[in-house]
Amino acid sequence: MNYKYSKTRRTQLIDRLAYKVFYVIAILIVLILAALLIYILVTGLPHISWHFLTGKSKPFQAGGGIGIQLFNSFYLLILTMLISVPISLGAGIWLSEYAKKNRLTNLIRTTIEILSSLPSVVVGLFGFILFVLQFHLGFSLLSGALALTIFSLPLLTTNVENALQTVHFTQREAGLALGLSRIETVLKIVVPAALPNIVTGMILAAGRVFGEAAALIYTAGQSAPAINFSNWNIFDLSSFLSPFRPAETLAVHIWKVNSEGLIPDASSVSAGASAVLIIAVLLFNFIARYLSNRIYQHMTGVKS
Amino acid sequence: MDPIKESLLKTSRKAKQEKFGKLVTFLCILLIMVMVVAIILFVSLKGMATFVVNHVSPFDFFFGVNWNPSAKPPQVGALPMFLGSFIVTILAALIATPFAIGAATFMTEIAPRTGKKILQPVMELLVGIPSVVYGFVGLAVFVPITRHLFGGSGFGIFTATLVLFLMVLPTITSMTTDALNSVPRNYRESSLALGATQFQTIYKVVWRAATPGIMTAVVFGMSRAFGEALAVQMVIGNAALMPTSLTSPAATLTSILTMGIGNSVSGTLENNAIWSLALLLLLMSLVFNSLVRWIGKRSSLK
């Protein structure tokens, strides 16, 4: 009897202890993230000024800015999304609406999985031989955007497919019963219904694309030549809109400044740039959250 | 022919539309497939050149311990980088897994509400932080700390492990959370009804039922860690030597790749050897992928 009692007591003690351990782990992780964010913001924010955000970077001296890199990052993101959003929509629609349960579909899913697990350096290197060398695009925004498209396609496609899958099948039946073709049903009923999830996923993917560097160092290049913001001719290499100019992005800049160490204020430039990058990613995250909440409320009338 | 009959015999506008839509969406899929095949093909072709054109024996490549492709005679032993990649990956997974399982359990079993409200956004943010930022933090924080604690330069496997730990933690956690969530509720209820405490239920029932899912999560995290390039490259020191200690500079496949392609001329042995590293990386990614599939298949048979 006594033995039994002590054993129960022990298991109860273990139970309580384990409980605490789980709490400690959870708190530890939150603290790690907090420390990370605070460190980046505290070291980075003091360096951020209008001059830093808009100024030109300097290859060898201190005091350079990140203006061109920041613009390049956004422009590259827009180009990438322009290419990858339509493709991923099409691919996602096919997977969700047309794919039959057969070998071909299995093969396709496997391929997409493989693509999503490919290291981004490998994608970058592939972009380097195909777009930069074979297609003679050189180190350019376009090569970078194409490489990033490959990088983001599996992410976006899976997101579109999952979003479409959450739409109830009765919606499709209703569309078909009204005499719409399947593709019309999908485009006019299913996609709009799934739009909140699709948009959220796309913004999150945009955040990933924005911070990607490994796929870019050999496609979009590691130099940021001066650009002219009043030149609107996209075929002119000095124009800010030209997709054929080499374009170092913010993330690549951070890497380059740190690994080459040619400028004396590398650590403060990268601290500032990291802070900007983090703020951008946080913004992407919050916008995605806000939008999905808003659209959810709008569509269901439920306050979450 | 009367118009009704005619319209019945011809393909309708809707049917054409349908065909067109199906075709266009399938073309998108086809494009993705072509890309994957092209990537594998191109990298394989480039990577095989070392063995086919330069007649380096694969044995020397896989088991050689010296990497100096520009020397005469060139040495192209990839073992140091391969080991480097492997060690950082395994260590990072070893540290991250307990944390990930703990966090996932917290989110699903202990405090689902707080977990969802606080821990999940935290994980999403950790995923969102770009890898160069992790590299920068590693460089600015972990390297000096390591230098202070263990001496040496501070660059090395230990620092890289710490950085990778942060990077794979959210991946493993979110997948483990999914795995735990998919354990049926009645498993837990039966266990509790038999008089087990909550922790007994967790580690004797929930974890056990979710083991395949957790393993998938870990392998997935490892494949992330194995392929991570810039963050690792920034903190590992990039010395292509056989790793002798955790705190001396080492190299990974990805770190040599990022540095090497730009510094070598296309067509030379030096360049080809680097492409072989890329091929090795690609193959490893495929291996991780099949491992995930294998685990999935085995667990679905039960």
Domain boundaries, chain B: 3-52, 75-301
Phi, psi dihedrals of residue B237, rounded to the nearest 5°? 100, -20
Whether pLDDT at A5 is above 80: no
Tell me what the mean pLDDT of segment A74-98 comes to. 94
Contact with chain A for residue B55, Cβ under 8 A:
no
Query: What CA–CA distances, in Å, run from B224 to A116, A151, B49, B93, B232?
Result: 10, 14, 27, 10, 12
What average pLDDT score do residues A70-88 get? 93
In this prediction, residues A42-66 reach a mean pLDDT of 81
* Cβ-defined contact of A211 to B131 (cutoff 8 Å): yes
- Closest CA–CA distance from residue A231 to any residue of chain B (Å): 31
State the smallest CA–CA distance between residue A18 and chain B in angstroms: 7
The partner residue sitting opposite A125, judged by closest CB among B130, B136, B278, is: B278
Dihedral of CA atoms B301, B100, B231, B233 in degrees, nearest 10, equals -70
One-letter amino acid for residue A102 of the chain: N
- Give the residue from chain A lying closest to B292, CA to CA: A113
State residue B250 phi and psi, 5-degree precision.
-140, -165
pLDDT grade, residue A2 (50/70/90)? Answer: low
Say which amino acid occupies B49.
A
Kindly tell me if the per-residue pLDDT of A195 is higher than 80.
yes
Out of A30, A32, A122, closest to residue B118 by CB? A30
Nearest in space to A220 (alpha carbons), one of A228, A233, A235, A209: A209
The reply to whether residue B106 touches residue A23, judged by beta carbons under 8 angstroms, is: yes
Residues 271-300 of A with CB under 8 A from B: 271, 274, 277-278, 281-282, 284-285
Distance CA A138, CA A124 (A): 13
Helices marked H in B106-184: 112-114, 120-128, 131-137, 143-150, 157-181
Chain B CA closest to residue A289: B121
CB A84 within 8 A of CB A122: no
Considering chain A, what percentage of its residues have pLDDT values greater than 90?
41
Report the alpha-carbon distance of residue A225 to residue A228 in Å, rounded.
10
DSSP B119: I
Binned at pLDDT 50, 70 and 90, residue B118 comes out as: confident
| Overall average pLDDT of the B169-181 stretch | 91
Find, in chain A, the residue whose alpha carbon is nearest to that of B225: A119
> So what's the pLDDT on residue A294?
81
Domain B75-301 belongs to what architecture?
Answer: Orthogonal Bundle (1.10)
Give pLDDT, residue A1: 45
**Which of A158-162, A178-182, B262-266 comes out lowest in average pLDDT?**
B262-266
Report the alpha-carbon distance of residue B165 to residue B181 in Å, rounded. Answer: 23
Q: Which residues contact B266 (CB under 8 A, 6 or more apart)?
A: A133
Residues 61-90 in B contacting A (C-alpha not used; CB under 8 Å): none
ipTM rounded to 2 decimals: 0.88
